[in-house]
Structure formats: structure tokens, C-alpha cells
């Protein structure tokens, strides 16, 4: 079993964002051309930032402690990025088939990170070290990006996951950022879902 403190520290990036990425891509694939046109660009921006955070923030320190552990993931990022750019740039000649290929690559990739990278992070880092890395995410993200990402994230995970992510946010995000994060999340969720979430994580109401 995983150390629960370490698991909480890695779960946002390696479990809950991954779930939202899987769910959103499946939704876009099932939604036809109109949904692809309206929603794929956002999916592409969020996936690109997620990969960038792994490549620049999380993987280099892991690679230092566990040489060779991140190479396959980094290569997959390049492969996925190329396909996403083709799709997002309007250069795909067969969107349906390219999306299916993307889904196949992405599912294998996310699975690999969950089975290899996430346990390696927990093996080679203390929970406090992982939280310290997590706390630097905002250095890499513009306010515009966060404003798009936060409601997207909370919309594309289920209620139990929303509670876990909100609890991690309360514990791990610098308190100065909390009010605006809560505003963005509440703006993206319908009022019932937001109220349910605040009911389970009351600390949210103090900041929203
Ligand atoms: Fe990932
Ligand atoms: Fe990745």
C-alpha cells in the first residue's frame, strides 16, 4: 500500500488531472464535429501544460534520483504533442482516425505514468518535497490558463474526486491563491454541485 501522505501529494497531477483528461477526450470524441471544433482547443491547451509541467517541474528532479525513469514518458509527450498540434492546427485529413490514435496513445501514456512515474515519485521523495514541487505549479501557469483549467478540471471529475482535489488545494496551495481559485471553480460548476462540494470541504466557503 502507498503511504497516504505521499499519495495525496502526487494524486492531483498523476490521478485527478489524468482522469479529467481521459474523460474530456472521450466526451469530445463522442460529441462529433461541432464539439471537436468548440472544445478540442481547450483540451489541447490543458494537455500541453500538463506535459510541460511534467517535463520541466516534476521529471528533472525525479530523473536525478532515479536515472532513466522518465525517458519513455518524455518521448511519448513529443509524439502526443505532434498529433495534438496537427489536430488543433486544423491540419488533420482524418479527424476521427487521428482522435482515435490520440486516445490510444494518451491512455497508454497516462497509464504508464500512473504505474511507473507515480510510484517512483513516492519512492524517491518525501511528501513535503512533492508538495513543494506542487506549490510551484502556479509559477508556470498564467492567470488566464488557471481560469480556464480550474473549472474544466472540476467539471470533468466526479464528486468524490472533487472533494479530494479541493482538500489537497486547501492543504497545498498558498493561501493567497485560494480565494481566486475558489471563484473560478464555483463559476464553472452548477450551484448544486458547488454547494455539495462546500458542504464536504467547508474551508472552501471561507475563501469564495
Ligand atoms: Fe501526466
Ligand atoms: Fe505525461
Q: How far is the CA of 206 from the centre of ligand 1 (A)?
A: 31
Looking at all shown ligands, the one closest to residue 75's CA atom is 2
CA-closest candidate to residue 14, choices 181, 138, 104, 133: 133
**Phi-psi domain of 94 (left: phi exceeds 0; alpha: psi -120 through 50; beta: other):** beta
Looking at all shown ligands, the one closest to residue 19's CA atom is 1
Mean pLDDT of each 10-residue bin along the chain, 208 residues long:
88 95 98 96 98 97 97 97 97 97 98 97 95 90 94 95 92 83 90 95 78
Q: How far is the CA of 88 from the centre of ligand 2 (A)?
A: 18
What does the pLDDT read at residue 52? 97
Q: How far is the CA of 50 from the centre of ligand 2 (A)?
A: 7
**Domain ranges within the chain, ordered by starting residue:** 1-136, 142-208
Amino acid at each position: 500500500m502507498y503511504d497516504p501522505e505521499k499519495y495525496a501529494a502526487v494524486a492531483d497531477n498523476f490521478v485527478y488531472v489524468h482522469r479529467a483528461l481521459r474523460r474530456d477526450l472521450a466526451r469530445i470524441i463522442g460529441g462529433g464535429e461541432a464539439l471537436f471544433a468548440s472544445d478540442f482547443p481547450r483540451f489541447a491547451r490543458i494537455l500541453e501544460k500538463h506535459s510541460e509541467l511534467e517535463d520541466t517541474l516534476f521529471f528533472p528532479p525525479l530523473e536525478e534520483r532515479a536515472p532513466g525513469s522518465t525517458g519513455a514518458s518524455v518521448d511519448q509527450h513529443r509524439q502526443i504533442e505532434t498529433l495534438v498540434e496537427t489536430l488543433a492546427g486544423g491540419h488533420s485529413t482524418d479527424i476521427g482516425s487521428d482522435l482515435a490514435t490520440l486516445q490510444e496513445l494518451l491512455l497508454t501514456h497516462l497509464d504508464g505514468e500512473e504505474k511507473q512515474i507515480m510510484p517512483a515519485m513516492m519512492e524517491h521523495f518525501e511528501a513535503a518535497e512533492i508538495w513543494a514541487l506542487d506549490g510551484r505549479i502556479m509559477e508556470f501557469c498564467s492567470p488566464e490558463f488557471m481560469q480556464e483549467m480550474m473549472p474544466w478540471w472540476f467539471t470533468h471529475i466526479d464528486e468524490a474526486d472533487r472533494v479530494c482535489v479541493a482538500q489537497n488545494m486547501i492543504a497545498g496551495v498558498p493561501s493567497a491563491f485560494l480565494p481566486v481559485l475558489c471563484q473560478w471553480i464555483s463559476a464553472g460548476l452548477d450551484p448544486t454541485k458547488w454547494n455539495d462540494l462546500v458542504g464536504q470541504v467547508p474551508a472552501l466557503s471561507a475563501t469564495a
